[in-house]
Structure 1
Amino acid sequence: MATSTIASTKNEISFQFEGSDDAQQERQRLLDSISKSAWAHNNESSNDFRSDFFTKPTLPMLEAVISTSLGDGDMGEDATTNSLCEYVAGLVGHDASILVMSGSMGNQVALRSALKAPPYSILADYRGHIINWESGGATALCGALIKMVVPSNGHHLTLDDVKKHAILSETYYDAPTRVISLENTLWGTVMPLSDIRAISKWARIQDPPIHMHLDGARLWEAVVAGACTLREMGECFDSIQLCFTKGLGAPIGSIVTGTSEFIKRANWARKHLGGSTRQSGVIAAPARVAIDDVFLGGKMKLAQEKARRAAALWEELGGRLQFATETNLVWLDLEKSGLTLEQYNATASKFDIKVGEPVNGRLAFHYQISDEAFVRLCEFFRAVLKPTS
């Protein structure tokens, strides 16, 4: 961790503990504690390829927590939280936003807010997070039918896919499509802006218009890859969920954006799910640092470059991929590469890198992956593929 960052944090604490000898001793104890704390290094995350949420919050994030406001988030009285919500809404071009505890909560808050009176259904890619990783929340909490669609092109949903599977009739047999939920990135792949725009335009001319929701937990990655801007996504969707932990490195939190009326309903949905907080500034402050320092600071691009280099080496050594690497996720096809999961995991453990669950065969690159860990990953590739190369 940079010395200047530690010094800045020390100065912040020094100001608070000027005075008596006892106060100075307490100050020194805190300074020593910070220098040795988990905030001052990213040792545990530097070799962790399991997911891009295995990052560590940083000293600048701790500084932000120390200096944050401590208003009541549930009452809408925390200045830091309100500033973050206004800031993110502005980035995507929406009227308002609401801070939530996680990406799953963000998606469920958005869906619950968009769906008003049953019967209704949600159309989504069959691989989507809202279907496979959120404990059936959309069905349990909203009572919604989920229309799972397999993309005809094998990569992403198109307008033809949506038209084919959307339920537009409203007889008493039907659960009409009221939400189209897209995901960008999805499994690390980018949904083209042209297809998103086509689906959005069609959805909005329906009677009634179909709500467009984006699970944008990793939308930051699509933007960094040059596929779109946040504003372009905001123009296409009525609600967007953005995660502060996946790739950005904040310790907790996601945000949902939309119109002012939509966010008013989202406040109700968040309360229903127990997601309101008191001193929410301790969540909002490091999230703002994550956006400015990691996303806007260009650090995510380096992670994507490492992912592309790793994917290229895997293939050069005779390994196979499940599909092309487009952002920060590399999907190894272990079976077609002639490997068993047991071989793969056992060999990885010898190179001091963390792979495996929650998704076996997937490698996630984040900005805290060290160059040394990347070198060991490459050595691991050469070792594990040697018998089949």
Structure 2
Amino acid sequence: MTVTDTRPARWSTADLDRAVQEVDAVTALHAADCDRDARFPEEALAALRSTGLLGLMVPAEYGGAGGGLADMAAVSSRLSRTCMSVGMIFTMHCQQVAAVVRDGGPLRDRLLPRVARGELYLASVTTEASTGGHLLSSGASLTGDASTLHVDRFAPVVTGGSFADGFLLTMQAPDATSPTQVSLVYADRDQLRVTVRGGWNPMGMRATHSAPLHLAGDVPAGQVVGVHGGFRDIAVRTFAPMAHIGWAACWLGTADGALSRTVTLLRAERRSRGLDSELLLRRLSRVRQRLDTVHALINHSVSVLEKTIDSTSASVQLLINAVKLTASEMCPAAVDELVDLLGMRHGYLRDSDLALERALRDLRSAPLNYSNDRLHAADGALVLMDREVRHV
């Protein structure tokens, strides 16, 4: 007697490769004009929907690809080789999906099949004018009763928010006695009045269209992700690891793409350039060393998170923070080195086919995307708490 496994299967590597190639081809057609006009990459989002990549993190039983953290990092990195904004839009959506998968409760049955079908692109609403990007506190209060919650929320930065189908918002829990008692609430776009409150004209990351939004409306009380006041646990176990590894993968992909395009040009111009220059070779070596370091750190961190039982320990938190800090320093430095290597024509000019100027502008956001200064201060406290530190 043969037993047939009827469980839904996760995507194969070939399926994932085909989907990424399709999205990347669309992205390449529009990356330059999206950057020039600070325009959201609607064509790339449509491709993410149609290929099913929006459902990468959705378990197979809900119709998704059944991917994990390593898959998210790999796809984000590959998309960012062509356009870092598209990679960041994708990885931040995956972060929201992962929170629903882990802590969505009854929301899973309602939301995850829609995500898998490409119908639900999720945006993160965590920034506030008073707290900046500090995740673990909020000055905006949820009000309501046992059946309904009233949302009234301004966020100065919402990646892709003008184009999102749904939102995960952080707000003070009802009856909170401290701004650190934060809840995570899901809202469909049609449950809210979404008003753009400003423009988006940054140095880099222009295609993310992270304009300020005001969101207001009533949502059912059952649309809380996790428990009221329990967002800290979601932040530590899901949001921070997904963000730091996903962002780092995007930064690495952007720098990898810049190096690949540079090496292709150098090989094509071998006769006119002379590739035996020690200065050129040293610079290429330093670039590769930085990127290999970031790649190894991402892979190690993913491996640790996949095996660890307690992702909240000081040692694991320090490792995850190190991914963000290291990638945000080394990837911009690598591309800056390539600009020096190639000089004015190919390194500095905006209309160069190598797009190093755009990569460098995009990567300048890396130390600011949750401030490195703030993260170092948190790490200092974690070092003092880490019981694994021993005297030599």
TM range (shorter): under 0.3
Larger radius of gyration: 1
Q: Of Structure 1 and Structure 2, which has the larger fraction of its residues in helix?
A: 2
TM-score (norm 1): 0.24
